[in-house]
Amino acid sequence: MKIDLKGKVAVVTGASKGIGLAISQALLEHGVTVAAVSRTSEDLQKITHQQNEQFPGKMFAFPASLEREEECIRVISEIGNCFGQIDILINCAGVSQHSFMDLEQLHREEFERILHTNLNSVLYCTRQTIPYMKQQNQGFILNILSTAAFQSSGGGIAYSASKYAARAVTEGLIEQYKGTGIRVTSISPGPVNTNIWSHKTQPVSEERKKKMLRPEDIAQIAMFLLQLDDNVHIGNITVEPWFIPPKK
């Protein structure tokens, strides 16, 4: 049976920018109410204000720092209490390394910043959301992983470790909920032209950025996955920009 998205409530983490924002916009276009979660309250307020001009009363701001378990619990409970249902969870909040580095240069603070954001947010937001989905025996969980969840590189160990672990969570959830109304899936993109690249100590050229995927490309795949017949399951879609050749 094809899923009708109208009237559904979605939590989108990392909704203030980049891929999360593009997915939020696509959900709004399909009549979904979006609970937008990210750290910076001003960014969230600005985005929800802009979106509500086009989709009145459909996007709501819920600031939270998702690297912390108690914040994940607080914000998902707040959203659940506010709407009485959570049908869709898009785990998109994430950070990357500021630079490629050897393991000897990797400080605990940097490792924990990456691991806690990219893994804890997925683990704890999902754990807190599942009871709402179980109540209705239906739900859709989409985790934004990365090609780094499948291939580790010497300089990107911290980021890869966080994404491999988030992939393990995804695959475990698929195993656990297969055959139920709760569907779990993931998208693993290569480089996407978002703000995440502006935090790099080595600037990325505009020429390279132009060759990257666009956040809208990922949103299009997310909507494809969301709208599949409920008996059709795709565990992961890996997507890469055609015009950026692989490293030799």
| Binding of ligand NAP by 80 (CB under 6 A) | no
Residue 43 sits in the site that holds ligand NAP (CB under 6 A): yes
Q: How many residues in the shown chain lie near ligand NAP by CB under 6 A?
A: 29
Residue for token pair 């990257």: 212
Amino acid identity for residue 1 in this structure: M
| Cβ proximity to ligand NAP, 3 vs 165, nearer residue | 165
**What whole-number distance in Å separates Cα of residue 198 and Cα of residue 201?**
8
Least Cα distance to 166 among 155, 182, 150 occurs for 150
Binding mask 23-42 for ligand NAP (x = CB under 6 A): ---------------xxx--
Distance CA 58, CA 125 (A): 21
Q: Which two tokens stand for residue 129?
A: 């959301």
Beta strands in 27-157 (DSSP E): 33-38, 59-63, 88-91, 139-144
77 near ligand NAP, judged by CB under 6 A: no
Q: Among 24-32, 177-185, 188-196, 221-229, which window interacts with ligand NAP (CB under 6 A)?
A: 188-196
Q: Does 94 bind ligand NAP (CB under 6 A)?
A: yes
**Which C-beta is closer to ligand NAP: that of 33 or that of 193?**
193
Q: Is residue 173 a contact residue for ligand NAP (CB under 6 A)?
A: no
Residue partners of 165: CB distance under 8 A and separation at least 6: 115, 118, 119
Contact between 146 and ligand NAP by CB under 6 A: the answer reads: yes
Amino acid at 247: K
**Contact, 236 vs 188, CB < 8 A?**
yes
Tell me, yes or no, if 159 is annotated catalytic. yes
157 binds ligand NAP (CB under 6 A): no
What does the binding site for ligand NAP look like in residue numbers (CB under 6 A)? 13-14, 16-20, 38-40, 43, 65-67, 92-96, 117-118, 144, 146, 189, 191-192, 194-196
